[in-house]
Amino acid sequence: MKNIFLICVLALSLNGFAQTATAKNTSNFETITLGGGCYWCVEAVYENLDGVKSVVSGFAGGNVANPTYEEVCTGTTGHAEVVQITYDKTKTDLNEIFKVFFTVHDPTTLNRQGADVGTQYRSVIFYKNAEQKNAATSIIAELNKAKVYGTPIVTKVEPFKAFYKAEDYHQNYYANNKNQPYCKMVIQPKIEKFEKVFKDKLKKK
């Protein structure tokens, strides 16, 4: 009986330790939602950043619940194409996340990225807490002050309200469609630029 009692106590202790470890591990992760034009492009870049656990393409900032891709493309739902990035704060941070963001898209063109035109392609950061808001507004102010771009940044910084995941065929689009013309002509150059600038921050393959 004593042995059974000791085993039960040990099992409960280990279970408690496991739960504490899991909670601690979970607390290392945070999500940020960004819109930088076509989400296929942004997703493909962040998938390669060390410390990023997952990148999900979807929609945010609109006034319609659970919109479809076709609805968002009309520009009437108010949504932006975004990616929801979950990252490990022990491996990367908001500063790095934002540096990548402002490197791989043009934050000075209103409601467009290249040939992609419409409010759904606007440059926007949806913050979930004060830390994210302050980090976003700070880096935008620094970039504008340093005149990194020829014209002022038009990226909006807005409170996060809801995220709606896009249809399955939009997830990992670049990885699954590398031979498509859009992937070769638009996404690939962004990835190459990212890999050149952040070569020391790439995930090990």
Catalytic residues: 38
- Tokens encoding 17: 């330790």
Three-class secondary structure of residue 29 per DSSP: strand
**Which DSSP helix (H) or strand (E) runs through 11?**
helix 2-26
Nearest CA to 40 among 24, 21, 55, 18?
55
Radius of gyration, alpha carbons of the chain: 20
Q: Alpha carbon of 111 to those of 7, 56, 66, 122, 203: distances in Å?
A: 63, 21, 22, 4, 31
Q: Alpha carbon of 101 to those of 7, 13, 112, 156: distances in Å?
A: 52, 44, 15, 13
Contact 123, 156 (CB under 8 A): yes
Q: Residue 173 contacts by C-beta under 8 Å, 6 or more apart in sequence? A: 40, 43, 44, 57, 183
Amino acid of residue 107: P
